């Protein structure tokens, strides 16, 4: 739900978190994007960076040019006209995934946890169109929600120290794609051959906040032949 008033949390002497609500919600995330667009289109002097998340914004500023009181006043003024902020149309991206085996070492565990077959897990995961709620953790790492209720799964008790890049994983009501090799505590269902982050491309990330995502099952041979 939305907070009745915006909640501000200081993050040192040059950044502040602005919280809009307390849950994963398309409506709250839309409002976060509206605030981010409005602040970036008409930035106050001293505004350095805006990082939108599921339900909040991290705003980084130069305290020699912009004090937090003036920043809060600017945000409160925006809130009065936020409904009129237009959001660009999102794109829909299809993500091919080879499920199970060495590419999805947790597929069988997830199936046993839900008392269904691995094939049913794949059907559930590929049968939904998801929203990219935010990008974070590592460059190009998308946080995607919301999983079907029948696939909501707790995090792994012990995180892995190394998750291969391209791994597609789930936990709770989220699914993610690891763009680079990194630690991770989610259950890995499969792997995509797509490159999610390329610093030499513009934009450098395949997925952006608010995009729609559909996962498509592919065979191992197709995965191996996919251009890299």
- Shared domain for 215 and 126, answered yes or no, is yes
Query: Which of 41, 56, 84 finishes a domain?
Result: 84
- Shared domain for 73 and 120, answered yes or no, is no
HSE on the CB side for 82, CA within 13 Å? 19
CATH of the domain at 78: 3.30.1360.40
* pLDDT (0 to 100) of residue 31: 94
Q: Of the given ranges (43-47, 82-86, 142-146, 220-224), which has the lowest mean pLDDT?
A: 82-86
Cα dihedral: 210, 228, 171, 160 (round 10): -140
* pLDDT (0 to 100) of residue 47: 93
For residue 92, the cross-strand partners are 212
* pLDDT (0 to 100) of residue 16: 96
Distances, alpha carbon 228 to alpha carbons 16, 195, 200, in Å: 40, 8, 15
Report pLDDT digits (tens) over 87-112.
888 999 999 999 999 999 999 999 99
Report pLDDT digits (tens) over 148-190.
999 999 999 999 999 999 999 999 999 999 999 999 999 999 9
Q: Is the pLDDT of residue 130 over 90?
A: yes
* pLDDT (0 to 100) of residue 223: 96
- Shared domain for 108 and 79, answered yes or no, is no
Percentage of the chain lying above the pLDDT 90 cut: 83
Report pLDDT digits (tens) over 8-50.
999 989 999 999 999 889 999 999 999 999 998 888 899 999 9
CA neighbor of 163 nearest in space, from 186, 142, 139: 186
- Shared domain for 79 and 103, answered yes or no, is no
Q: Are strands 212-217 and 92-99 parallel, antiparallel or unpaired?
A: parallel
Q: Is the pLDDT of residue 86 over 90?
A: no
* pLDDT (0 to 100) of residue 89: 87
Query: Which of 84, 117, 132 finishes a domain?
Result: 84
- Shared domain for 147 and 41, answered yes or no, is no
- Shared domain for 107 and 212, answered yes or no, is yes
- Shared domain for 203 and 126, answered yes or no, is yes
Q: Is the pLDDT of residue 143 over 90?
A: yes
- Shared domain for 212 and 125, answered yes or no, is yes
Q: Is the pLDDT of residue 228 over 80?
A: no
- Shared domain for 216 and 115, answered yes or no, is yes
- Shared domain for 152 and 44, answered yes or no, is no
* pLDDT (0 to 100) of residue 95: 98
The pTM of this model reads 0.90
* pLDDT (0 to 100) of residue 59: 96
Cβ atoms of residues 111 and 121 within 8 Å = yes
Cβ atoms of residues 139 and 208 within 8 Å = no
Distances, alpha carbon 13 to alpha carbons 18, 39, 165, in Å: 15, 20, 35
- Residue bearing tokens 């960076």: 49
Residue 75: in which H helix or E strand, if any? helix 68-79
Query: Which of 33, 62, 84 finishes a domain?
Result: 84
CATH of the domain at 175: 2.40.100.10
Cβ atoms of residues 56 and 17 within 8 Å = yes
Residue 65's domain comprises: 2-84
* pLDDT (0 to 100) of residue 57: 95
- Shared domain for 46 and 125, answered yes or no, is no
Domain count, the chain: 2
Percentage of the chain lying above the pLDDT 70 cut: 100
Q: What is the mean pLDDT of the chain?
A: 94
- Shared domain for 181 and 134, answered yes or no, is yes
């Amino acid at each position: 739900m939305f907070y009745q008033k915006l909640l501000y949390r200081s993050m040192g002497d040059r950044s502040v978190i602005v919280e809009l609500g307390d849950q994963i919600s398309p409506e709250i995330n839309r409002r976060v994007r509206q605030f981010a667009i409005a602040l970036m289109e008409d930035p106050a002097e001293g505004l350095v960076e805006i990082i939108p998340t599921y339900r909040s914004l991290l705003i980084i500023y130069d305290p020699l040019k912009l004090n937090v009181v003036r920043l809060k006043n600017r945000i409160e003024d925006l809130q009065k006209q936020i409904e009129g902020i237009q959001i660009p149309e999102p794109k829909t991206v299809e993500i091919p995934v080879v499920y199970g085996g060495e590419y999805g070492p947790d597929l069988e565990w997830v199936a046993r946890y839900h008392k269904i077959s691995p094939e049913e897990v794949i059907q559930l995961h590929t049968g939904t169109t998801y929203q990219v709620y935010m990008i974070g953790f590592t460059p190009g790492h998308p946080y995607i929600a919301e999983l079907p209720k029948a696939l909501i799964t707790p995090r792994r008790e012990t995180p892995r120290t190394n998750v291969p890049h391209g791994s597609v994983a789930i936990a709770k009501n989220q699914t993610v794609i690891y763009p680079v090799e990194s630690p991770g505590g989610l259950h890995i269902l499969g792997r995509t051959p797509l490159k999610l982050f390329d610093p030499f491309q513009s934009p450098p990330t395949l997925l952006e906040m608010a995009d729609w995502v559909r996962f498509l099952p592919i065979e191992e041979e197709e995965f191996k032949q996919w251009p890299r």
